[in-house]
Structure 1
């Protein structure tokens, strides 16, 4: 396995030269016509594919492949910025290296070693100073609007909690969840879609905070729930097929009975 700085530098230089060649006047027509906005969705997609490879085991060969795809996205953006006369890959690497040194004075400086809680606090102080330097004011400043909604809600709630705007415990969040559910129920007869959407959004946000208070990641919770539903519904279809039925023709009662059978089987195997 090659892991020396020299090897890494040579392979990175090769990747940078490939990217430059693709964007050259006689390079790839598709790559040449892209810009930051058109490449951004691919960058997000590749990050999710890295997470998926990790969730699968991790699957190390796939993880290596997906990390390469994600690195290529960074190289792509840096190449376009270089063409615009703004910055290149060396500046990107230098900026993150400087940031990591700045945010870890207990490792790279003379500050005393900290426990995890103290380090997290110091990290947030440093990030707040960096936001202030960028003229981003306010507790919630700088949380990207392009994040997945659950992730952004979690970040916003964490920021607010750091200045004391928080529920005292998970039980209090559950009380708030019941309150929001009651408000949504009250909106159902009116059929006002805007009001209903507002109340559903409140429910989601409270659920994000419940996960936070339980030290759970809401994206992971929902991802696991999706996987569980998919697994169980696929099993329901197999149960119905063994009875010569299709889901669309079986009816809700038969599907619910099959669902309960599948759940009971899973619990028996646990």
Structure 2
């Protein structure tokens, strides 16, 4: 196995960990000292989304700052576990390095993998071997994943075991089938079944996205951004006439909407 190079001491990391330990220690910050693993959960999610916004903004300084905020969450979690005598930040980093080496035998070993597809196949095979004994192939999918992302993860896991449509056509036909079932539930005014059928329809749409290599969250985000841009244009046209949308007719708003559709697409959300 090829040895990984030993980096120079990371002074910034050492300083960060010392600051976090001071904040959590006696005489430190009351807010930081009150935090628990449970109370920090919301911040991990919020900071991750702020990082995504920073990436979309294209601003390197903003990106650097948001990466730091995400790293702070890692440091705080590790500090709490250190206080419990469980593990340290260094343990986290060392375990991650070991896992990366173990799951990249084509780099650190003799395994051959020429394409990204082969790399992913090796990764999943090694990962499955590490987690042998689980009751289900769907074991380990995070419970708190956003619903669209979770659906895609479930479908991908099942597909690797052969439980899948032969091609995208079958998945696409399923959308039509689920749409008809939803129509029938609406016709019968069966509220509980309506919710269930909407879920089935969304699940089927995600499946088509998976086949066509389209990320459903990103596709929906782009469409939402497009709607926002067009709706703001409708609002602008109403304001030009000194009117509020609630006082405009649907025909007027539809005309402005169609005009907005002819304009350039909005940039990615920042």
Counterpart for residue 259 of structure 1: 257
Q: How does 1:65-80 map to 2 (within 5 A)?
A: 65-80=65-80
Counterpart for residue 117 of structure 1: 117
RMSD: 1.6
The alpha-carbon deviation at position 231 of structure 1 amounts to 0.7
The equivalent position to 1:249 in structure 2, one of 243, 247, 258, is 247
Counterpart for residue 188 of structure 2: 190
1:139 matched to 2:148? The reply is no
The runs of at least 4 consecutive aligned structure 1 residues that moved more than 3 Å come to none
TM-score scaled by structure 2? 0.92
Rounded to whole Å, the distance in 2 between the matches of 1:171 and 1:86 is: 50
Contact 1:232 1:262 in 2 (8 A): yes
The alpha-carbon deviation at position 153 of structure 1 amounts to 0.7
Counterpart for residue 128 of structure 2: 128
The alpha-carbon deviation at position 176 of structure 1 amounts to 0.7
The alpha-carbon deviation at position 137 of structure 1 amounts to 2.8
Where in structure 2 are there 5+ consecutive unaligned residues?
1-5, 266-270
1:108 matched to 2:103? The reply is no
The alpha-carbon deviation at position 5 of structure 1 amounts to 4.1
Q: How does 1:83-98 map to 2 (within 5 A)?
A: 83-98=83-98
Where in structure 1 are there 5+ consecutive unaligned residues?
none
1:150 matched to 2:151? The reply is no
Contact 1:184 1:199 in 2 (8 A): yes
The residue matched to 1:265 in structure 2 has which SS?
coil
The equivalent position to 2:199 in structure 1, one of 198, 201, 211, is 201
Counterpart for residue 81 of structure 2: 81
The equivalent position to 1:239 in structure 2, one of 237, 240, 253, is 237
TM-score scaled by structure 1? 0.92
Counterpart for residue 210 of structure 1: 208
Rounded to whole Å, the distance in 2 between the matches of 1:172 and 1:31 is: 52
Higher mean displacement: 247-256 or 71-80:
247-256
Rounded to whole Å, the distance in 2 between the matches of 1:250 and 1:219 is: 33
Higher mean displacement: 258-267 or 89-98:
258-267
Higher helix share: 1
The alpha-carbon deviation at position 68 of structure 1 amounts to 0.4
Please list the CA deviations of residues 35-77 of structure 1 after superposition, one character each: whole Å capped at 9, or x if unmatched: 1111011111111111111122x22111000000001110000
Rounded to whole Å, the distance in 1 between the matches of 2:166 and 2:243 is: 51
Rounded to whole Å, the distance in 2 between the matches of 1:261 and 1:130 is: 56
Contact 1:131 1:137 in 2 (8 A): no
Counterpart for residue 17 of structure 2: 16
